[in-house]
Amino acid sequence: MTSDDEVNFSRQVRAAFPYVAFIDDMYWPTPTPPSRASITDCESKFVYIWNRQLFPELPSMPRKHGGFHGPQSGMVIQLIRSQIKGDELLSGTMSVGFDETNVAMKAFAEGVWKIIRKITSTKVVQVNAYTGEVEFPRSDIRLGIDAYRWCKEDDERFLRFGNTPLIWMKPAD
């Protein structure tokens, strides 16, 4: 996702779940999480999607050298943001783990995935890092609408999976 995709995603998540806040990083200066109204308001590449209706408070643990550490799973959905570096969009990830008996958290996570599926495309192909030739389709990768546009704007732009040097992708035509 580009920052425009993040704005769109944040807006849609907050429309579906009005009590959502976006937590800026897993490390906090105080026991209270640094919550933001949008992903783009966060400085860290680590953002946690917190449904305050399900969990009005998040626990924190003091860190040895100061500050506090918040949850990365169970009560939040973890988003590791994509990053644009030159002509490459480095992939991000979204993940969640929680007690399977928590039906409210399950419904929240499923609702967020539904939004992601709605605003992203799976029209992505893996390409040879040296020649740019298409190797095969990647149905496991989702690409934001603006990220798709960004990559298609210039033939020299690529998507790179997980910061690995040899897994390069492009939007499929």
pTM of the model: 0.92
Question: How much is the pLDDT for 161?
Answer: 82
Q: What is the model's pLDDT at position 163?
A: 67
Sequence-ordered list of residues with C-beta below 8 angstroms from that of 40, at least 6 positions apart, any chain = 3, 6, 7, 10
pLDDT of residue 22: 98
pLDDT tens across the length of the chain (173 residues): 999 999 999 999 999 999 999 999 999 999 999 999 999 999 999 999 999 999 999 999 999 999 999 999 999 999 999 999 999 999 999 999 999 899 999 999 999 999 999 999 889 999 998 888 999 999 888 999 999 999 999 988 999 987 677 788 999 97
Q: How far is residue 3 from each of residues 7, 22, 43, 109, measured CA to CA in Å? A: 6, 14, 12, 22
Can you give the pLDDT at residue 166? 79
**Structure-block tokens of residue 50:** 């917190």
